[in-house]
């Protein structure tokens, strides 16, 4: 971010200047921003050079640095923090805005999600020419996009529904019937998707159906890939080339990579930052691994209030040794105890990995614990 901070100090309008003349895709949501942005950049690269903030610095300084680093790129794939989307869109006038999901994040740092939804909705209203690629399985993102004149609806999945039990527009109950949902208060319901996916294929407009075999794990990443492909195709990418490009993505700023730890272990590193993200990350864990290390810190970027740990379902680890780690490993150990998960407590994450039986270890870490681990591994 340092280059962006210096540039913004010299000229507060620099973001708008750097965004001129580019066709930009803005990607936002509580979870999956970095992964979807990485996939979108890969898909857009089939059309030409792309400017992108690949390391996930998703506020103004990071965006300025990313755009300044690629002055000749006429395309941009930009991960943007949810609360920054309105003024970033005012500056760069994106061609496409991708709305992934909205769920509760660290309340002591971020704020209430209904306020975020209203802020996004108001921001989108100022850019009626933009195509909005929105997840119709997410009630809050559907509400944000519902009034926009150009929406591409994607059934990208919505496994976490605990933060959208009431309608963001009327306050009445949201009723769920299988994949469909609707509000009991007003005419507000799940739109019919233009794009969707299954276990083997991605499906799109006009009967499009292409095989999609991703390198990245998890159903959630199939949803991320589908939104990335939809965004790239909106800007003119060939669907088959876009699918091939997103399928080849195998690492996102250190996430999902498998690395050796000493001579006795390999470790796959997963990042999770809030209850919805933890639910998805836990679903990716290899239950046949030699061990699982869960590392939790409570610094400002993580949220200093860790009460959200009690909303995460840590049960069902009967067959694999679990180690609680991180600066707030004791808090996690208490939660695991109440979940009935047998575990040990080793605060240092590297030492926790080495404490597991020889073999492959799955490591789940929240934000600063993830960064600390990557520095230790690097």
Question: CATH number for the domain including 17?
Answer: 3.40.1190.10
Residue 45 domain-assigned (yes or no)? yes
Name the strand (E) or helix (H) holding 282. helix 275-284
Query: Does the active-site annotation cover 288?
Result: no
**What is the DSSP code (8-state) at residue 186?**
S
Angstrom distance (rounded) from CA 99 to CA 204: 18
Tally the domains of the chain: 2
Task: Point out which residues pair with 24 in neighbouring strands.
Answer: 76
Is there a single domain that holds both residue 219 and residue 304?
Answer: no
Name the strand (E) or helix (H) holding 39. helix 33-44
Is there a single domain that holds both residue 171 and residue 202?
Answer: yes
Placement of tokens 């620099």 in the chain: 14
* Domain limit, last residue, from 195, 212, 247: 247
Residue 194 domain-assigned (yes or no)? yes
Is there a single domain that holds both residue 43 and residue 92?
Answer: yes
The active-site residue out of 198, 305, 311, 331 is: 305
Is there a single domain that holds both residue 107 and residue 134?
Answer: yes
Is there a single domain that holds both residue 201 and residue 101?
Answer: yes
What sign for the dihedral angle of Cα 102, 105, 107, 111?
negative
Give the chain's radius of gyration (CA, Å).
Answer: 21
Name the strand (E) or helix (H) holding 78. strand 75-79
Can you give the residue range of the structural domain that contains 241? 2-247
Residue 252 domain-assigned (yes or no)? no
Rounded to the nearest 5 percent, the helix, strand and coil shares of the chain are: 35, 20, 40
In a structure prediction context, what are the per-residue pLDDT tens digits for the chain, which is 378 residues long? 889 999 999 999 999 999 999 999 999 999 999 999 999 999 999 999 999 998 888 999 999 999 999 999 999 999 999 999 999 999 999 999 999 999 887 655 556 888 899 999 999 999 999 999 999 999 999 999 999 999 999 999 887 777 888 999 999 999 999 899 999 988 999 999 999 999 999 999 999 999 999 999 989 999 999 999 999 999 999 999 999 999 999 988 888 899 999 999 999 999 988 888 898 899 889 988 999 999 999 998 888 888 889 989 888 777 889 999 999 999 999 999 999 999 999 999 999 999 999 999 999 999 999 999 999 988
**Residues 6+ positions from 269 with CB-CB distance below 8 Å:** 254, 255, 256, 257, 258, 259, 363, 365, 370, 373, 374, 377
Is there a single domain that holds both residue 324 and residue 206?
Answer: no
Give me the pLDDT at residue 108, please.
Answer: 54
Where does residue 292 rank: exposed (0-12), middle (13-18), buried (19+ CB within 10 A)?
buried
Task: Point out which residues pair with 259 in neighbouring strands.
Answer: 267
* Domain limit, last residue, from 185, 218, 247: 247
**Residues 6+ positions from 117 with CB-CB distance below 8 Å:** 102, 140, 141, 143, 144, 168
- Find, among 29, 335, 5, the residue nearest to 156 by Cα: 29
Task: Point out which residues pair with 75 in neighbouring strands.
Answer: 23, 50
Residue 253 domain-assigned (yes or no)? no
Cα-to-chain-centroid distance, residue 323: 25
Helices 33-44, 239-247: axis angle to 10 degrees equals 130
* Domain limit, last residue, from 224, 247, 270: 247
Helices 85-92, 60-68: axis angle to 10 degrees equals 30
Give me the pLDDT at residue 304, please.
Answer: 87
Angstrom distance (rounded) from CA 91 to CA 297: 35
Give me the pLDDT at residue 274, please.
Answer: 85
Is there a single domain that holds both residue 228 and residue 272?
Answer: no
CATH of the domain at 292: 3.90.190
Q: How far is CA 142 from CA 86, 135, 186, 190, 194, in A?
A: 17, 7, 14, 8, 14
């Amino acid at each position: 971010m340092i280059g962006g901070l210096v540039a913004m100090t010299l000229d507060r309008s620099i973001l708008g200047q750097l965004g001129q003349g580019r066709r930009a895709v803005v990607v936002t949501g509580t979870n999956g921003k970095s992964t979807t942005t990485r996939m979108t950049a890969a898909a857009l690269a089939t059309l030409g050079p792309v400017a992108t903030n690949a390391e996930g610095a998703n506020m103004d300084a990071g965006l300025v640095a990313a755009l300044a680093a690629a002055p000749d790129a006429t395309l941009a794939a930009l991960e943007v923090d949810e609360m920054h989307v309105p003024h970033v869109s005012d500056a760069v006038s994106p061609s496409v805005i991708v709305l992934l999901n909205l769920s509760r994040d660290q309340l002591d740092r971020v704020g209430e999600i209904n306020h975020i939804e209203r802020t996004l909705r108001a921001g989108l209203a100022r850019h009626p020419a933009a195509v909005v690629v929105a997840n119709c399985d997410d009630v809050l993102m559907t509400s944000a996009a519902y009034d926009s004149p150009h929406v591409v609806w994607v059934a990208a999945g919505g496994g976490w529904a605990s933060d959208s039990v009431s309608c963001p527009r009327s306050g009445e109950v949201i009723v769920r019937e299988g994949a469909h949902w609707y509000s009991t208060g007003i005419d507000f319901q799940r739109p019919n998707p233009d794009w969707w996916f299954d276990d083997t294929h991605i499906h799109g407009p006009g009967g499009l159906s292409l095989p999609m075999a991703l390198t990245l794990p998890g159903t959630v990443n199939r949803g991320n890939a589908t939104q990335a492909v939809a965004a790239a195709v909106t800007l003119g990418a060939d669907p088959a080339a876009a699918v091939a490009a997103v399928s080849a993505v195998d690492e996102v700023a250190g996430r999902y990579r498998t690395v050796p730890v000493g001579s006795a272990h390999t470790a796959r590193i997963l990042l999770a930052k809030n209850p919805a993200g933890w639910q998805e990350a836990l679903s990716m864990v290899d239950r046949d691994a030699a061990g699982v290390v869960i590392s939790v810190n409570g610094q400002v970027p993580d949220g200093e209030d860790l009460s959200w740990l009690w909303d995460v379902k840590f049960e069902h680890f009967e067959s694999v040794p679990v180690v609680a780690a991180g600066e707030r490993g004791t808090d996690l150990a208490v939660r695991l105890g109440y979940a009935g998960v047998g575990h040990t407590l080793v605060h240092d994450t590297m030492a926790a990995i080495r404490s597991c039986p020889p073999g492959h270890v799955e490591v789940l870490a929240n934000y600063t614990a993830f960064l600390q681990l990557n520095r230790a591994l690097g």
